[in-house]
Chains A and B, each alone.
Chain A
Amino acid sequence: MGAQSRNLHIAWAILLKDLRLELRRKYEIFSMFTFALLSIISFSFSLGPAPSNVLDVIPTSLWVIILFTGIISFTTVFIREMDKGTMDGLRSLPSSPQAIFLGKTFYCFILMGIVEFVLIPASMILFNYSFNSDLALVILTFVLGTFNIALIGSMVSALTMYSESKTILIPLLTFPLIPGSLIPSVTATMKLAFGANLSLILPELRLIVAFLLAILLASWLIFEYVFYE
């Protein structure tokens, strides 16, 4: 087996291992679902009954909920490995640290994706709105934006596993790194809610992809300095 395919195989194995663990415990995914749905309900308090400005507020507020829900998942990415004492096991795997980072990022992305799969339709039903654009564009925007958050979250999780005060440090480190992709994601979502086509959201998609590539490249180059003690 070549080094490349071995790395991909290990990334895939780590993803499956974490998903299996999560399905067994269900603790984080349950917390994420509960938090997301409670947040949607809290928005109804601020909008009031039969609100007229739903399309202005709710689709873009989804990103706030997605971000905070993601922060809950970041503790499971690397911090859980450190707390359980399984980091040395990960370090002894015959793969590059980048493969492990990739597996963990996809795990975080899938967790967030599962929550969004329920959250977005639930918000559409509860607030009686729909995206007046191509479903493919809506999915693309959410996939790209969520993957960005998962990428940053995985790196933040790896950084904070060695530090004290993880609870406060995770959001403190995440928030300054997120806006580069969050702002265009929110803008694109707002435009899609009002029926934009691809050409209208292309500037935002370009920004999201540019930021994603920059963070991916930086993570790829320097993750080993975080991974190995």
Chain B
Amino acid sequence: MRDKIYLAATFIVNIIALYMMFIYSPPLVVGAEVAADPEVFRIFYLHLPAAIAAYIAFAITFIGSVLYLRKKDFKWDVLAAASAKLGLIFCGAVLLLGSIWAENAWGVYWNWDPRETTTLILFFAYVAYLAYRMAIEDREKKARLSSVLGIFAFATVPLSYLSIQIWQTLHPIVIRLGKVEMSPPVTYTLIVSLIGELLIFFFILYLTVKAENLTEKIAKVKAGG
């Protein structure tokens, strides 16, 4: 019952977000020097929430990894791995949506901007995390060693986020020193879109963890444990 209520809420919030994205929010050009189609700006309402969802996913992987090393309970490892998989999907979406927007705004899909580059590095860090997990057979070793890697891989998250402060970049900066540099309609649309995307993220995370736990249980029963 609780699942159905959550799903209904997610659906309603996302329908409202879609309305706000395409009808309520005005078209916009970011930056005076950019000669872009103002309608393409609407991609921002998917791009930024996807980035935030990816960062949250990788933070959950970090926390799950730390908790596994402390408590040695496989449920934390399952959470860390599931969150990493989802984080990769959202990070891939960020790169794809960002490239589409970049082509419109700057004329090229990819120009090795520090934010683009560090986000690509972040993506590959967690590809490496999942590849590493697949290369270890023993369950306990897989959990322990990938938790260590999950802690190290998290270093790429602040590198990606702070890249616009460390290096010169073409990437627009909409939140500067805690101050939001967007008009109210854009801000409200972004907030609703963010809530909608995070609701989707947490629901898929919940389902993935549930499925992984069931898979582990089946494997345990098959092994006679």
Name A residues whose Cβ lies closer than 8 Å to a Cβ of B.
155, 159-160, 162-165, 168-169, 172-173, 175-177, 179-180, 207, 214-215, 218, 222, 225-226, 229
Contacts and interface: CB of A to CB of B under 8 A. Distances in A.
A179 B112 CA distance: 13
Interface in B112-128: 117-118, 121-122, 124-125, 127-128
B171 interface: no
Nearest to B159: A180
A226 B145 contact: yes
A169 B69 CA distance: 22
B69 A225 contact: yes
A222 B148 contact: yes
A162 B136 contact: yes
B149 A225 contact: no
23 contacts: A155-B152, A159-B132, A160-B132, A163-B132, A169-B128, A169-B131, A172-B127, A172-B131, A173-B128, A175-B124, A176-B153, A179-B117, A179-B121, A179-B156, A180-B155, A207-B166, A218-B152, A218-B155, A222-B148, A222-B151, A225-B145, A225-B148, A226-B145
B133 to A, nearest CB: 9
B147 A177 contact: no
Contacts, number: 73
Given A176-B121, A225-B144, A226-B145, A215 B128 contact: no
A218 B153 CA distance: 11
B5 interface: no
Contact of A177 (B118, B131, B132, B152): B152
A82 B155 CA distance: 28
B221 interface: no
Contacts of B69: 222, 225
Interface size class of B (residues with CB under 8 A): 20 to 34
Contacts of B137: 164
Nearest to B138: A162
Nearest to B137: A164
Contact of B132 (A169, A180, A222, A229): A169
Nearest to A203: B166
A177 B155 contact: yes
B118 A179 contact: yes
A218 to B, nearest CB: 6
Contacts of B159: 179-180
A57 to B, nearest CB: 16
Interface string B140-184: 010011011101110110010000001000000000000000000
A159 B148 contact: yes
B153 A163 contact: no
A207 B141 CA distance: 33
A226 B128 CA distance: 17
A77 B71 CA distance: 30
Contacts of B152: 155, 177, 215, 218
A164 B133 CA distance: 10
Given A176-B121, A225-B145, 5 more contacts: A159-B132, A159-B148, A163-B136, A179-B156, A180-B159
